[in-house]
């Protein structure tokens, strides 16, 4: 990517990352890397964590009640801690595994860059709020009968959420690639390697647990 315009000003100067993340994620990532402080990704990580917790609340154990102040506080704290922790760990591993493909990003650059991938999550939060407005908090309750219009909205919102999840992944890969200053294909490899490792460990542990349970039985 050419880093300067014809008037010699940086191409990322004046960019709005909340808009450019949707159509030029690498440019958005470069803008964040060069102009933002850690406050920017921390805020986005917290918001993303809160939205993720909110989405999970729809399928929580019915033992908890959505009108419980303790429950709400628990979910908020979990969202904040989980969001920030996931951001830090994600930045570290994306920086580390990117080195395998010749990446040059520092931890600070990666921590700033991957926050761009949280931007589609903000739109996801809006859809979840619309779910609550249109369907209400019992939208996954099997004992509540939804109307045809409500079911149509659930289908539409599910497709939107899926699309946002896919695009969020694409944005993250491109942001990681920009931080490391290499191609998006290498960025994909940077994301896939730790993902495969984690899934393999989970599968291995699952097999071990099943084996132990079977042996004990």
Which of 29-43, 140-154, 163-177 bottoms out in mean pLDDT, i.e. has the lowest? Answer: 140-154
In angstroms, the Cα distances linking 82 to 66, 88, 194 are 20, 10, 19
Which of 16-30, 44-58, 104-118, 148-162 bottoms out in mean pLDDT, i.e. has the lowest? Answer: 44-58
Which of 20-34, 52-66, 76-90, 114-128 bottoms out in mean pLDDT, i.e. has the lowest? Answer: 52-66
User: Of the candidates 49, 174, 166, 47, which has an alpha carbon nearest to the alpha carbon of residue 113?
Assistant: 174
Binned at pLDDT 50, 70 and 90, residue 63 comes out as very low
For the chain, give the percent of residues with pLDDT over 70: 80
pLDDT over 60 at 99, yes or no: yes
Note whether 28 and 168 are within 8 A (CB): no
Residue 186 and residue 195: Cα distance in Å, rounded? 14
| Element spanning 30, H or E | helix 25-35
Q: What value does the mean pLDDT of the chain take?
A: 83
Which of 12-21, 59-68, 106-115, 187-196 bottoms out in mean pLDDT, i.e. has the lowest? Answer: 59-68
Per-residue pLDDT tens over the stretch 158-215: 899 899 999 999 999 999 999 999 999 999 999 999 889 989 999 989 888 887 877 7
Note whether 38 and 84 are within 8 A (CB): no
Q: Which residue has 């979910």 as its token pair? A: 75
Exposure string of 112-134, with b = 16+ CB inside 10 Å and e = fewer, is bbbbbbbbbbebbbebbeebeee
> What pTM value is reported for the model?
0.81
Binned at pLDDT 50, 70 and 90, residue 64 comes out as very low
Per-residue pLDDT tens over the stretch 39-58: 999 999 999 888 887 666 65
| Cα three-residue angle 181-110-94, rounded to 5 degrees | 90
First to last CA, the chain: 60
Residue 108 and residue 38: Cα distance in Å, rounded? 8
Higher pLDDT, 114 or 145: 114
Binned at pLDDT 50, 70 and 90, residue 142 comes out as very low
Residue 22 and residue 28: Cα distance in Å, rounded? 9
């Amino acid at each position: 990517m050419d880093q300067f315009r014809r008037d010699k000003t940086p191409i990322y100067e004046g960019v709005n990352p909340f808009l450019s993340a949707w159509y030029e994620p690498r440019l958005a990532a470069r803008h964040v890397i060069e102009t933002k402080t850690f406050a920017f990704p921390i805020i986005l990580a917290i918001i993303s964590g809160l939205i993720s917790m909110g989405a999970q609340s729809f399928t929580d154990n019915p033992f908890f009640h959505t009108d419980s102040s303790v429950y709400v506080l628990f979910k908020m704290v979990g969202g904040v801690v989980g969001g920030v922790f996931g951001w830090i760990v994600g930045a570290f591993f994306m920086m580390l595994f990117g080195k395998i493909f010749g990446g040059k990003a520092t931890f600070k650059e990666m921590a700033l860059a991957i926050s761009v991938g949280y931007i589609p999550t903000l739109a996801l939060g809006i859809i979840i709020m619309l779910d609550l407005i249109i369907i209400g908090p019992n939208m996954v309750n099997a004992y509540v009968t939804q109307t045809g219009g409500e079911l149509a909205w659930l289908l539409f919102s599910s497709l939107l959420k899926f699309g946002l999840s896919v695009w969020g992944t694409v944005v993250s890969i491109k942001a990681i690639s920009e931080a490391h200053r290499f191609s998006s294909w290498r960025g994909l490899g940077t994301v896939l390697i730790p993902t495969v490792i984690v899934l393999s460990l989970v599968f291995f542990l699952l097999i071990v647990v099943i084996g132990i349970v079977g042996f004990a039985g």
